[in-house]
Amino acid sequence: MRLELGNIYVKDVQFGSQTEVKDHIVYINKEELLGVIEDDRLEGLDIDIVRPGDSVRICPVKDVSEPRVKVSGAGHIFPGWFDDAKTVGEGRTHVLKGMTVMTVGKIVGFQEGIVDMSGPGAEYSPFSQTINVVILGDKVEGLRQHEHEDAVRNAGLRAARYIGEAARDAQPDEILTFETKTLEQQLKEYPDLPKVAYVYMLQTQGLMHDTYLYGVDVKKILPTFIYPTEVMDGAIISGNCVSACDKNTTYHHLNSPVIFDLYEKHGKELNFVGVVLTNENVTLLDKERSSNYTAKLVKSLGVDGAIISEEGFGNPDADLIMNCKKLEAQGIKTVLITDEYAGRDGASQSLADGDQAANAVVSAGNANALITLPRMNKVIGYIDAVNVIAGGFDGSLQQDGSITVEIQAITGATNELGFNKMGAVGI
């Protein structure tokens, strides 16, 4: 599959009389957009625009996506949700770089996140560096949590598609090309380079811990092979409510650093063969089934090594180590990407599971590290959520508007795709 990404760099986002891209400024007709995302399950819908450096705190953040539009090739952005479920990953897609669509709402209460647009908290989230179109949606009385999540998720995806459509006829500032050939062709292309696969673990631990592939709940599938360009075209959608620091938002999937970096080294240092998607399960039987099938798939690709990235922590640590052990036992070298929950002093055990086979690990940082975030002039959402949010505690919110939390509460702080500035060095 060969995909071109046409990046249009956004200098500003403003409300205007019509939705369009003009001179690198995205104008949005607010009333029209509200009509696009209208849902009888939501009330009090509102839209804000926030920019890097603003004295703004956004909380509790649900998901983040990026406006894109397919201008050639099969399918549409976010296939399986709206028009059809055609296979994507080919042709050209235009991307409005430097902006996001961000959804906010009290869905679970304890497993959404914080984004500060300025101050020390801004250093921990990539979304402090983007211009964010923020959608706040409250549930109507009696709506259950998983229905609220579904309504807010769909509002965010609709908004990203609506805004992205404005980029259809825009002239890209750059066009990046990515290609992965058929397996037979790919394995033969660089015979002198090590062949590498990417094992992409997705959060799927039960209701409201969902991730979707072409609209299908990934907990319901066996591990599967996909082309990396499919991920870039919106084949994976986040629908989970887990700790904000290491949750992969839809934006993270669209811009996975692991995939982009493997493409960067493709044909130079390694032969990037493709992606094996796998789930993270709750029961031991399900973990065994998926890790066995993952090992079988990766072995069948004929690769020398694999990168394995985790999503979440605790229970999924077992899935991570199972995948590692079974690949290593087949002679396939692995590198693991995870984060740590090592206590506020960093002295506790970092993962809930481990094995001697896991001897090449990249850490995205310690999620238990404590930080105090100063008061912001404006809060979008509900600031009292910080007292119950994962990483927060009773008393996190101070009378002066400042908050003290673990960085676990900050969206993207220890992202296990490496989409952050955090890390750790073994000594």
Catalytic residue annotation: 241
Task: Verify cis geometry, omega within 30 degrees of 0, for the bond prior to 67.
Answer: no
**Residue indicated by tokens 């500032």:** 173
Residue 314 φ/ψ, nearest 5 degrees: 80, -110
Render the burial of 159-173: b for 16+ CB within 10 Å, e for the rest. bbbbbbbbbeebebe
Q: In this structure, what DSSP letter does residue 352 have?
A: S
C-beta separation of 204 from 218 below 8 A: yes
Distance of CA 182 to the CA centre of its chain: 27
Q: How many angstroms separate the CA atoms of 28 and 321, rounded?
A: 46
Q: How many angstroms separate the CA atoms of 158 and 232, rounded?
A: 17
Q: How many angstroms separate the CA atoms of 110 and 247, rounded?
A: 13
Alpha helices in 276-361 (DSSP H): 284-300, 315-328
Which residues have a Cβ under 8 Å from the Cβ of 316 and sit 6 or more positions away? 201, 203, 205, 280, 310
